[in-house]
């Protein structure tokens, strides 16, 4: 991969970084709260919390105990893809809503497309496998569609939505997305819970398959 291509994918992948997506989520959540849309906010928060728990559990299960799928090359749901796909469609759906319009379906679709692009960036940077990215995108889709269902009859506050978008400028600051060392936290939690000294890595997942294949070839 050339330098310029890598630079491009790094910018795209930052759109799913927790250090950017969570502040964006908090601004939109504040808008919902001040607008009196507390039930909508609660539904979205519950969906987001469930999605985050699934991502975290899948990663801890592999890092701590090696639970994954060698055939699918699966070691945990892509958190970047999940966050981008669950937050950007909601933000863009409200940002691109016309005056008097409750929610922009085209904005939701654009947000889902950007979430897919974040997933592609995770593949390009070799951070995740296709199965992990697909799981993250589908999980994010379920979350954003839950938010769309409960918010589609509510009027958006474009000024707040535009203000929230200012956080996206942070994708061009290389140091900011690393502000939340999420992977380090995941490893620490996994090792504390499992009692193991070293985390499992992707190579460990495929070792049994390689060993079995070699054993079968010797038998043949």
Question: Which of 22, 67, 48 lies closest to 193, judged by CA?
Answer: 67
Q: pTM of the full predicted structure?
A: 0.86
Report the greatest alpha carbon distance in the chain. 72
Instruction: Write down the domain spans for the chain.
Output: 3-219
Under the banding of pLDDT at 50, 70 and 90, the label for residue 212 is: very low
- Residue 139 or residue 35, greater confidence: 139
User: What does the pLDDT read at residue 133?
Assistant: 98
Q: Which of the given ranges, 76-80, 92-96, 205-209, has the highest pLDDT on average?
A: 76-80
User: What does the pLDDT read at residue 158?
Assistant: 58
Under the banding of pLDDT at 50, 70 and 90, the label for residue 190 is: very high
Model pLDDT for residues 66-89, shown as the tens digit of each residue: 999 999 999 999 999 999 999 999
Model pLDDT for residues 112-127, shown as the tens digit of each residue: 999 999 999 999 999 9
Contact 161, 35 (CB under 8 A): no
∠ CA 1-77-41 to the nearest 5 degrees? 115
Residue 155's contacts (CB-CB under 8 Å, 6 or more residues apart) are 100, 102
Model pLDDT for residues 153-188, shown as the tens digit of each residue: 766 655 666 677 776 776 666 655 556 788 899 999
């Amino acid at each position: 991969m050339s330098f310029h291509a890598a630079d491009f994918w790094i910018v795209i992948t930052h759109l799913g970084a927790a250090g950017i997506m969570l502040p964006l989520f908090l601004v939109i959540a504040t808008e919902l709260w001040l607008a009196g849309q507390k039930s909508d906010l609660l539904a979205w928060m519950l969906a987001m919390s469930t999605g985050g728990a699934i991502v975290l559990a899948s990663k801890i299960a592999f890092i701590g105990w090696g639970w994954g799928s060698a055939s699918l090359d699966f070691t945990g749901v892509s958190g970047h893809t999940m966050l981008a796909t669950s937050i950007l469609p909601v933000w863009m759906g409200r940002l691109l809503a016309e005056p008097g319009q409750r929610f922009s379906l085209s904005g939701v679709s654009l947000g889902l497309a950007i979430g897919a692009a974040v997933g592609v960036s995770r593949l390009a940077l070799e951070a995740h496998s296709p199965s992990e990215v697909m799981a993250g995108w589908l999980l994010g889709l379920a979350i954003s569609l839950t938010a769309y269902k409960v918010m589609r009859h509510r009027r958006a506050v474009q000024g707040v939505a535009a203000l929230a978008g200012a956080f996206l400028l942070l994708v061009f600051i290389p140091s900011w997305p690393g502000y939340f060392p999420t992977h380090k936290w995941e490893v620490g939690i996994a090792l504390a819970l499992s009692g193991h000294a070293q985390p499992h890595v992707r190579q460990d997942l495929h070792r049994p398959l390689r060993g079995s294949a070699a054993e079968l070839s010797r038998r043949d």
